[in-house]
Amino acid sequence: MTADSKKTEVRHRDTLAVRAAVEPSQYGENSEALYLTSGYVQPSAAAAAARFAGDEEGFTYGRYGNPTVASFEQRLAALEGAEACISTASGMSAILMMCMGLLKAGDHVICSHSMFGSTIKLIGSDLAKFGVESTFVPQTDALAWKAAIQPNTKLLFAETPTNPLTDVCDIRALADIAHNAGALLALDNCFATPALQRPMEFGADIVMHSGTKYLDGQGRVMAGALCASQELVTKTFLPVLKSGGMTLAPFNAWVVLKGLETLDIRMQAQSARALALAQWLQNHPGVARVHYPGLSSHPQHALAMAQQSNCGGAVLSFEVRAGDADEGRARAFHVLDSLQTLSLSTNLGDTKTLCAHPASTSHGRLTEAQRQTAGVVQGLVRVAVGLEHLSDIQTDLDRGLSRF
């Protein structure tokens, strides 16, 4: 929808996070309205024809668009610094929309092998059934990404920092590799969010989101989105939405829209706790190793600070001290089973701190050898840090770490 001239003068992200939206209705509501409607009454037959043809702006049918959904899209696009955004029912359906829009049989995709598990399954297995080829490369090795380029490579898809080891890739380097090959770079920005990292500033063409995570921020609804150029959104992704129907529900859009208003302060507060917790864990006798981009011991610390607004983010993982894999698993389980305040949950992006054992959950379907390559050892615990008081988080983790 068109922004009025007053709005186009607004440049600051903080302001856009609470203001970017479609125009209020004739009732002048200050909080954006939740439009629960599947259809729209057309002003005239000619206007309906023009709207369906895409020659005139206006809503036609709930699968194609909705004012509440459009407000969420405008706000997220503003935060990412993108021309446009198109939303979907979940993060995975955003990836499906991207792949269906950009790829056909015989095309090739390159991804990191530490991508989100369902992403690896979707691209490596499900899309392979339709003749899409894929190569998975080490996250941080730009030369491996470059070496994997083929004449039919259409898309490079990365995620940074990764889950659960927080490996950071160089977005600018991958964008250059993609563009030199005539391909596009898509970036899954779930972990850092636009509050910390805006991949388009480093040359990414598409930014993908699971709105289910930090954008909502309170673990309530599923949502997904792609931010990209107006042309990609209108010509490549919107047709997939219209025929594929992976539409974001207006209620979910409204929840995530309101979540974006506090995204920045949540990310700052949760990341500050994560940094303090990472430093405390690093000095804990029961902990062998901490993975957190905000620590100077992180292999890509400098790159992470440059790419992520000088901030490590809210997710960390640590390895318990153990003699072998079996002991590591037992000790990690003990830490999780000793929790009294924090949640044992494989989700992330909540104000409640969520702790998980990746080797038996998100990475449980891999073979032990694959897990070793990925670094997801049995003693690894992931913590998505929320907003509880730091000392309560420490007390809860210390219970299982100090006594075994």
Ligand X SMILES: *Cc1c(COP(=O)(O)O)cnc(C)c1O
Residue 188 interacts with ligand X (CB under 6 A): yes or no: yes
For residues 22 and 122, which CB has a smaller minimum distance to ligand X in the complex? Answer: 122
- Applying CB under 6 A, the span of 84-92, 137-145, 242-250, 264-272 interacting with ligand X comes to 84-92
Q: How far is the CB of 209 from ligand X (least distance, A)?
A: 8
Residue 194 interacts with ligand X (CB under 6 A): yes or no: no
Contact between 313 and 348 (Cβ < 8 Å)? no
Query: ∠ at Cα 19 (241, 76), nearest 5°?
Result: 35
Contact between 310 and 391 (Cβ < 8 Å)? no
Q: Which runs of consecutive H residues, i.e. helices, occur in 111-231?
A: 117-121, 142-147, 171-180, 193-196, 230-231
Residues 107-146 as x/- pattern, contact with ligand X by CB under 6 A:
---------x--x---------------------------
For residues 32 and 159, which CB has a smaller minimum distance to ligand X in the complex? Answer: 159
For residues 98 and 320, which CB has a smaller minimum distance to ligand X in the complex? Answer: 98
Residue 252 interacts with ligand X (CB under 6 A): yes or no: no
Pairing of strands 153-159, 206-210: unpaired
Element (H, E) at 184: strand 184-188
Q: What is the CA 55 to chain-centroid distance, rounded? A: 33
For residues 74 and 210, which CB has a smaller minimum distance to ligand X in the complex? Answer: 210
Residues 265-294 as x/- pattern, contact with ligand X by CB under 6 A:
------------------------------
Candidate list 91, 250, 286, 312; residue touching ligand X; CB under 6 A: 91
Own/partner pairs for 230-238, CB < 8 Å, 24+ apart? 230/83, 230/84, 232/84, 232/101, 232/205, 232/206, 233/83, 233/84, 233/85, 233/86, 234/54, 234/84, 236/101, 236/102, 237/86, 237/97, 237/98, 237/101, 238/64, 238/86
For residues 22 and 171, which CB has a smaller minimum distance to ligand X in the complex? Answer: 171
Cβ-based burial of 185 (10 A; exposed 0-12, middle 13-18, buried ≥19): buried
Residue 88 interacts with ligand X (CB under 6 A): yes or no: no
For residues 207 and 332, which CB has a smaller minimum distance to ligand X in the complex? Answer: 207
The residue of the chain with the least Cβ separation from ligand X equals 91
Residue 10 corresponds to which amino acid?
Answer: V
Terminal C-alpha separation, the chain: 59
Residue 212 interacts with ligand X (CB under 6 A): yes or no: yes
- Applying CB under 6 A, the span of 28-36, 48-56, 76-84, 86-94 interacting with ligand X comes to 86-94
Residue 164 interacts with ligand X (CB under 6 A): yes or no: no
Residue 170 interacts with ligand X (CB under 6 A): yes or no: no
Binding residues with ligand X: total (CB under 6 A): 14
For residues 91 and 358, which CB has a smaller minimum distance to ligand X in the complex? Answer: 91
* The pair of three-digit structure tokens given for residue 110, joined into one six-digit string: 């390159």
Candidate list 68, 71, 153, 210; residue touching ligand X; CB under 6 A: 210
DSSP 294-312: TSTTSTTHHHHHHHTTT--
Candidate list 73, 80, 107, 159; residue touching ligand X; CB under 6 A: 159
Distant-in-sequence, close-in-space partners of 157: CB < 8 Å, separation ≥ 6: 95, 109, 110, 111, 115, 119, 123, 185, 186, 187, 188
The dihedral sign for the CA sequence 234, 240, 243, 245: negative
- In this structure, what are the phi and psi dihedrals at residue 193, rounded to the nearest 5 degrees? 65, 160
Residue 190 interacts with ligand X (CB under 6 A): yes or no: yes
For residues 22 and 249, which CB has a smaller minimum distance to ligand X in the complex? Answer: 249
Q: How far is the CB of 163 from ligand X (least distance, A)?
A: 6
Q: How far is the CB of 89 from ligand X (least distance, A)?
A: 8
Measured CA to CA, the distance from residue 361 to residue 193 in angstroms comes to: 24
- Applying CB under 6 A, the span of 29-37, 206-214, 239-247, 331-339 interacting with ligand X comes to 206-214
Candidate list 100, 183, 207, 222; residue touching ligand X; CB under 6 A: 222
Distant-in-sequence, close-in-space partners of 135: CB < 8 Å, separation ≥ 6: 108, 109, 110, 111, 148, 150
Contact between 189 and 165 (Cβ < 8 Å)? no
Q: How far is the CB of 212 from ligand X (least distance, A)?
A: 4
- Interacting positions 44-83 with ligand X (CB under 6 A): none
Candidate list 92, 96, 169, 241; residue touching ligand X; CB under 6 A: 92
Binding site for ligand X (CB under 6 A): 90-92, 116, 119, 159, 163, 188, 190, 210, 212-213, 222, 224
